[in-house]
Amino acid sequence: MTSHEKAAELRRALERRGIRDERVLDVIERVPRDWFVPENERPLAFVDTALAIECGQTISQPYIVALMTESLELDGTERVLEVGTGSGYQSAILAELCREVVTVERHESLSDAAREIHARLGYCNIEYWVGDGTLGCPDRAPFDGILVTAAAPSIPEPLVEQLRLGGRMIVPVGDEVDQNLLRVARTNGSPTIETLCSCRFVKLIGAAGWPESRSDSGE
């Protein structure tokens, strides 16, 4: 099977799981996920599963990437913050569907590798920051949407503050093993919170996340 055929099959699998947004499905079918995974994982690049990447991190499962993206309800005009660049796959999906992506990663080597792949694929609406993304990116706030792609112990307050009114944040919140994927919408009053599904992400480490332990340094 060619990569194109595998990507078409992945699209159908996501449709069967309930992803409805055609723009999201088109982009998942088009962005070459195999470019974002280590060589030894390439045979599994179009399977609906999370895979290991450098620094002890993971590239999220395509279904979760699709669900998170769909839940932002993008119309192409937005500036979106991604916390956790990782492989850069989710950033590429976002870059296709909104105006501007600001992505923050704590591991410089991951950020650099993602930037290089994006350059080869021709993306020029992604901005890269290295640091603690639990603090958001005050220089570029407010954001129309925020995707947190690592698991937080609670909703990171600095990120809520960097959402514009009416903006949405998708964030996995829970313990180190199980989390709920939440959609948090900023309103005039207290934010509204919906649960989308249960999920399992690597830890969000930082001031408004988990403290770093020795096994988390990833180097």
Active site residues: 60
Q: Contacting ligand SAH (CB under 6 A), which of 134, 170, 181, 186?
A: 134
- Between 160 and 187, whose beta carbon lies closer to ligand SAH? 160
Closest approach of ligand SAH to the CB of residue 189, in Å: 28
- Between 84 and 167, whose beta carbon lies closer to ligand SAH? 84
- Between 187 and 199, whose beta carbon lies closer to ligand SAH? 199
- Between 11 and 166, whose beta carbon lies closer to ligand SAH? 11
Binding to ligand SAH, residues 163-202 (CB under 6 A):
202
Sequence letter at residue 158: P
d(CA 93, CA 97) in angstroms, rounded, equals 7
d(CA 86, CA 72) in angstroms, rounded, equals 20
Compose the 10-49 pattern: x for residues touching ligand SAH by CB under 6 A, - for all others: ----------------------------------------
Are 160 and 191 in contact by the 8 Å Cβ rule? The answer is yes
d(CA 132, CA 122) in angstroms, rounded, equals 27
d(CA 70, CA 191) in angstroms, rounded, equals 20
Distances (CA, A) of 153 to 150, 190, 203, 207: 10, 19, 9, 11
Going along 55-130, which residue ranges are E strands? 58-59, 79-83, 100-105, 126-130
- Residue range at the interface with ligand SAH (CB under 6 A); choices 101-109, 118-126, 159-167, 187-195: 101-109
Are 104 and 85 in contact by the 8 Å Cβ rule? The answer is yes
Q: Contacting ligand SAH (CB under 6 A), which of 51, 110, 146, 170?
A: 110
Q: Is 87 in the site for ligand SAH (CB under 6 A)?
A: yes
Binding to ligand SAH, residues 144-163 (CB under 6 A):
149-150
